[in-house]
Structure 1
Amino acid sequence: MMIDIFISPQRYIQRKNLLEEAGQYTSSFGRRPFIVGDSVVLSKIQAVLVRSFQQAGLEPHFELFGGESCQSEVDRLVDVISQGGYDVLVGTGGGKSLDTCRFVSTRTRLPYIAIPTSSATCSAASAVAVLYEKGIRRGTLSGKGSDLVLVDPEILAKAPPRLFAAGLADTLAKWYEGRAVIETVQKDVPTCISLELSERARDLILDKGFEAFRDVKKGQCTPAVEEMIEVAILLTGIISGLGGTKIRTAAAHALYYGLGVLEETRRTFHGELVGFGILTQLVLERREPEVKSLMEFFSQLELPLTLEQIGLGGVSPERLKLALEATCKKGSSIHNLPFPVGIQELREALLTVDAWGKAITG
């Protein structure tokens, strides 16, 4: 038996007003931090970071993120860092920015601090990062986690509620996909613990997720919100690390990557497409009662339940086939399911989810 896992991050801190101490924590890694973030994110946190870094005697440089986790953006940031002599990398924002910074950290060998501003993905605490090109996955990095994650829940609670809900759906995939593939892999202690933690994460979300979502919509950072942030970022990152390559993705993430070939879906968040993929996978597994129960929960979180809600309301059969072919191609994680899935089966499952979703949404 062989165990090959990545545990990330090395340190995780979550508390209100934490960014006021960002300089103190960053000074343990370097004196010239290179901070990456988009204009929206930096408009919210740059002032407090500048103040904190200056108080710690640091010389920060802020660099605008190009907007996509792609090879050209990684190359650009690596060049700027190499010319400027910076000694610690700080990624801010959401999954694309944080994934990009993980690739940059690997290339430059700089310590990496992640400051997420939403809980839409677990990227801040994950040891995996993905590169895209025009919305299509082109590369994956495994094994480089954050040296430090700084989470101010009040900042994350002010992010759009839609991002919050998407993060809960993405977290739920750990259980639904993990359960589907567990019988096909050789089990070891980390694998079993990973699956148990994913089940616990599911239970926590189903119990408190809607309450937390309502609080976020009211602009409140309540204990329920803080707990869901912990689940969506920290716990999910630990689950991914312990599960390694054994607790793998299945149909939910395969469909996310497959649908990514269609430009119509690119305004739909990662977790929203993954959530739709969970429902589709459950249909493929013939778990009808579970599908319908989860759909009711997703409806409470205002997550998409129909093809129209993920941008495919008027998609032609030919274009939909492109996404189905991408989802079912050789090497796709849909083939991690313990039974074969082809284009026709996947099409029927998608249309079933769409029909059931329409019955709920009206």
Structure 2
Amino acid sequence: MPLLARSVMTPLAIEVRRGAVADLGAILSDGRISAGGDVAVVVGPGQGEKIGELIRPTLGSADVFTVTGGSIDSATDLSAKLGARSYDAVVGIGGGKTVDVAKYAATRRGLPMVSVATALAHDGIASPVASLVTDGIKGSYGVHIPIAVIVDLDFVESGPERHNRAGIGDVVSNISALADWELARQVRGEPVDGLAASLARAGAEAVINHPGDMSDDGFVTVLAESLISSGLAMAVCGTSRPSSGGCHEIMHAIDALYPGTGSHGELAGLGALFCTFLRGDEKRFVQMSACLARHNLPRTPADVGLSDDQFVEAVAFAPRTRPDRYTIIEHLDMAPDEIRGRLADYADALRDPLG
């Protein structure tokens, strides 16, 4: 009998609203994740005390663990502590580092993981990937997709605006990543998962075309849902392909060569805009450039503190970060002098996007 449909792993619960952290006990109970609140709550050092006070009335049986830094060592240490008693789930509350540590530790213990995002820096809040540092180098590790994804808009609002705006760059980069995926299909016969592509594209289009900004709950909700959709897209096809192409190769190259230059989302957005220019897609270039400019996100190497020479070096290095991936960068196979020339043309296009 032919398959009539496919089963897709998705979270049992998705909540994007104000007051979600304070209502965490009810959310976990209603979602049949933990009726009695027997969960391990993982927080970072910054807001851990405030979060502990908020959840205590509804999660009196929870144990709270504070983790520092997003490293394999931190995640391994947490995994060992989780063996002290039986838990219904691991609840990671915080930014990307805290959530990724909780994801990895929960996967090692075979426990369901609940992702509670207090910032919107990138699509890791719902993805089956944990970005952790090992020996000073950031790597990506496959983990179980969160059983629930919760975004508390109160925490997002009170967090650093630059940190949250970076998520816009990460979502917008999906447009470039999907174009790279299609290029790989045309040139190498690589299969493209239509459902994954649809999820990634819908979120990016929603953010690009939304007139609001980070002061508008409606826009922030769309951004949060788009980041979640991007994470689900990766889970659907079992690869980061729908959300990671040449844009992320450039981001990883800058991270490797010039660590601390910019955040994940900022660099992904910059890389996506440059790759879109390389692709010659003028309509998308104008769209994406306008979106990044509207939200005060980087569009030039100088915007993230890089010289043109440093950016050229990063683009030349980019294919080494994902040797198995085929993108516009691998397709053009440019020498450094050619990259430098294209970068000069790119700067001209930014000054006069309509030609």
TM-score bracket relative to the smaller structure = 0.7 to 0.9
Structure 2 partner of 1:256: 251
SS in 2 for 1:150: strand
> 1:194–1:87: structure 2 CA closer, same or farther, 3 Å change rule?
closer
Percent identity reads 19
The reply to whether residue 145 of structure 1 matches residue 145 of structure 2 is: yes
Name the Cα RMSD after superposition. 3.2
Classify the secondary structure of the residue corresponding to 2:145.
coil
Equivalence for 1:180: 180
Secondary structure class of the residue paired with 1:169:
helix
Q: Report the Cα offset of residue 91 of structure 1.
A: 0.7
Q: Secondary structure at the match of 2:169?
A: helix
Residue 150 of structure 1 deviates from its aligned partner by 2.2
Residue 41 of structure 1 is matched in structure 2 by 47
Bigger CA drift: 338-347 or 265-274? 338-347
CA contact (8 A) 2:93 2:118 kept: yes
Offset at residue 275 of structure 1 (A): 0.3
1:50 equivalent in alignment to 2:60? no
CA distance in 2, matches of 1:98, 1:353: 36
Structure 1 residues 34-113: aligned runs within 5 Å? 34-54=40-60, 58=61, 60-68=62-70, 70-83=71-84, 86-113=87-114
State whether residues 92 and 117 of structure 1, in contact with CA within 8 Å, keep that contact through their aligned partners in structure 2: yes
Alignment correspondent of 2:225 = 230
Deviation for aligned residue 1:42: 2.0
Would the alpha carbon gap of residues 249 and 347 (structure 1) be closer, same or farther in structure 2, given more than 3 Å must change? farther
Write the distance in 2 (CA, Å) between the matches of 1:355 and 1:133: 39
* In 2, Cα distance between equivalents of 1:304 and 1:134: 29
Shift of 1:106: 1.1
Report the Cα distance in structure 2 between the residues aligned to 1:342 and 1:105, rounded to whole angstroms: 42
TM-superposed CA distance for 1:109, in Å, is: 1.3
Give me the TM-score of the superposition, normalised by structure 1: 0.81
Matched, 1:244 2:245: no
Render the CA deviation track for 1:114-167: whole Å, top value 9, x for unaligned: 11001212222111222223663334215x111122222232233222223211
Aligned residues: 340
CA contact 1:8–1:125 (8 Å) conserved in 2 = no
Cα distance change, pair 293–132 in 1 and its aligned pair in 2 (3 A): same
| Secondary structure at the counterpart of residue 35 of structure 1 | strand
My pick for the range that moved more, 100-109 or 9-18, is 9-18
How many angstroms apart in 1 are the aligned matches of 2:256 and 2:171?
Answer: 23
CA distance in 1, matches of 2:170, 2:15: 22
In the alignment, structure 1 residue 125 sits paired with structure 2 residue 120: no
- Which residue does the alignment assign to 1:336? 327
Do structure 1's residue 326 and structure 2's residue 317 form an aligned pair?
A: yes
Question: By how many angstroms is 1:303 displaced?
Answer: 0.3
SS in 1 for 2:119: coil
The equivalent position to 1:291 in structure 2, one of 275, 282, 285, is 285
Amino acid at match of 1:145: I
Q: Name structure 1 gaps, 5 residues minimum.
A: 217-221
CA contact (8 A) 2:200 2:243 kept: no
In structure 2, the CA distance between the partners of 1:350 and 1:134, relative to structure 1 (3 Å rule), is farther
CA change 1:91–1:350 in 2 (3 A) is: farther
Aligned mates of 1:240, 1:141 — CA distance in 2? 11
Cα deviation for residue 85 of structure 1 reads 5.4
Cα offset, 1:104, TM superposition? 0.6
* Structure 2 Cα separation of the partners of residues 357 and 128 of structure 1: 33
1:253–1:274 Cα contact (<8 Å) kept: yes
CA gap of 1:351–1:62, structure 2 versus 1, over 3 A, is: farther
TM-score with structure 2 setting the length: 0.83
How many angstroms does 1:306 deviate by?
2.0
Deviations 1:281-328 (A, max 9, x none): 112212345324422321110101221221214x8x4x6565345312
Cα offset for 1:183? Answer: 4.4
Question: Does structure 1 conserve the Cα–Cα contact (< 8 Å) formed by 2:180 and 2:326?
Answer: no
Deviation at 1:256, TM superposition (A): 0.7
CA deviation after TM superposition for structure 1 residue 252, in Å? 0.1
CA distance in 2, matches of 1:331, 1:225: 31
Could you say what secondary structure the match of 1:138 adopts?
Answer: strand
Q: 1:48 to 1:308 in 2, by over 3 A?
A: same
How far apart in 2 are the matches of 1:260 and 1:86? 36
The worse-fitting range, judged by mean Cα deviation, of 125-134 and 98-107 is: 125-134
Rounded to whole Å, the distance in 2 between the matches of 1:240 and 1:154 is 27
In the alignment, which of 290, 296, 302 is matched to residue 302 of structure 1? 296
Do the aligned residues in 2 keep the contact of 1:112 with 1:148 (CA within 8 Å)? yes
Q: One-letter code of the match for 1:18?
A: A
Deviation at 1:103, TM superposition (A): 1.0
Deviation, 1:13, is: 2.3
Structure 1: distance between partners of 2:123 and 2:299: 23
